[in-house]
Amino acid sequence: MFPKVKFEGLPREMIALRVSREIKEGSYVNLGIGIPTLVSNWTEGMDVVCQAEIGMLKTGALAEGDNVDQDLINASCQAITELPGSVYFDIAESFAMIRGGHIDVAVMGAYQVNTRGDYAGWSNPARGLFVGDVGGSMDLCAGAKKLFIAMEHITKGGEYKIVNELSYPATAMGKVSMIFTDLAVIEITPEGMVLKEVVAGLTPQDVQSVTEPKLIIAPNCKEMEL
């Protein structure tokens, strides 16, 4: 399904910045591939510890030049650095942390999200294969206390990503609590999708026009502050 219009939204780094504002001090977070990874650029200096499912707590900044060590990468397969207090562990321990409910917030990308908080992110049917790269996404959905989605509001081809029903294979059902896009911040509630913030220059009606489900506009819906 295609919305009729397309709006110029925030760059990916700014979506990541807005996500970072929603992460409380003292949180353990896990960041997925894509926009979520960029969130760590904005949590530096905060009392937030990033867990990488490869088996590391307290991931540091990206490594450059002589600092690149092929034995030290994050879950997005980027060379990174360690920090004082960084720790390494094996993969079964890493997923025990994830599945066992020890991660406060997981931030993931998505192809589609619906009103019930179901989301699709692991397999693109356009690829024409029953199998896909599931990685650790479903474990994070099963175990993280909160699941945030950070993504573009519509696809590059102009299709809805916030949909009535998923047409892509589901990653998890009913797990998403908030969606952060280049246009808006939306909270998923038992009543439906609540529009909380809209990017500067757009109206709630503009956001509705590129969102398939009917949005509930929060009484205190405001312009997104960055």
Partner 1 sequence: MKKVWPSLEEAIADIKDGAMIAVPGFFACGVPRALLQALIKKGTKNLTLACGCGPLLGAAEELKALTLNGQIKKVIDSYGLFRSASKGMQDPFEQAVRAGKIELEVFPMGTMAEKYRAGGAGIPAFYTPTGVGSVFEESDVSNIEKNRKPKETRIINGQKYVLEYALKPDYAFIHAHTGDREGNLRYAKTARNFNHVMATAAIVTIAEVENLVEAGGLAGDDVHTPGIYVNRMVKVPRPKFAITID
List the catalytic residues.
53
Contact range with partner 1 by CB under 8 A, out of 12-20, 38-46, 48-56, 207-215: 48-56
Which of 95, 177, 204, 209 lies at the binding interface for partner 1 (CB under 8 A)?
95
The answer to whether residue 56 forms part of the interface with partner 1 (CB under 8 A) is yes
- In sequence order, what DSSP letters do the residues of 161-176 get, joined into one string? SEESS--SPPSBSS-E
Tokens for 151, please give them: 């993504």
The identity of residue 179, as a single letter, is I
Helix (H), strand (E) at residue 20:
helix 12-21
The answer to whether residue 70 forms part of the interface with partner 1 (CB under 8 A) is yes
The answer to whether residue 116 forms part of the interface with partner 1 (CB under 8 A) is no
Strands 112-114 and 105-108: unpaired
Which of 57, 138, 217, 218 lies at the binding interface for partner 1 (CB under 8 A)?
138
As a whole number of Å, the end-to-end CA separation of the chain is: 31
Q: Least Å distance between CB 168 and partner 1?
A: 11
Contact range with partner 1 by CB under 8 A, out of 21-29, 71-79, 202-210, 212-220: 71-79
Which residue, 9 or 136, is less far from partner 1 as judged by CB?
A: 136
Identify the residue whose tokens are 């997981």.
106
Q: Least Å distance between CB 88 and partner 1?
A: 5
**In this structure, how many other beta carbons lie within 10 angstroms of the beta carbon of residue 26?**
10
Which of 7, 22, 57, 82 lies at the binding interface for partner 1 (CB under 8 A)?
82
Q: Least Å distance between CB 87 and partner 1?
A: 10
The answer to whether residue 132 forms part of the interface with partner 1 (CB under 8 A) is yes
* Residue 168, CA distances (Å) to 109, 115, 123 in order: 14, 15, 7
Q: For residue 65, count CB atoms less than 10 angstroms from its CB and return exposed for 0-12, middle for 13-18, buried for 19 or more.
A: exposed
The answer to whether residue 144 forms part of the interface with partner 1 (CB under 8 A) is no
Q: Which residues bind partner 1 (CB under 8 A)?
A: 33, 52-56, 68-79, 82, 88-92, 94-95, 98-99, 118, 122, 124, 126-139, 141-143, 169-174
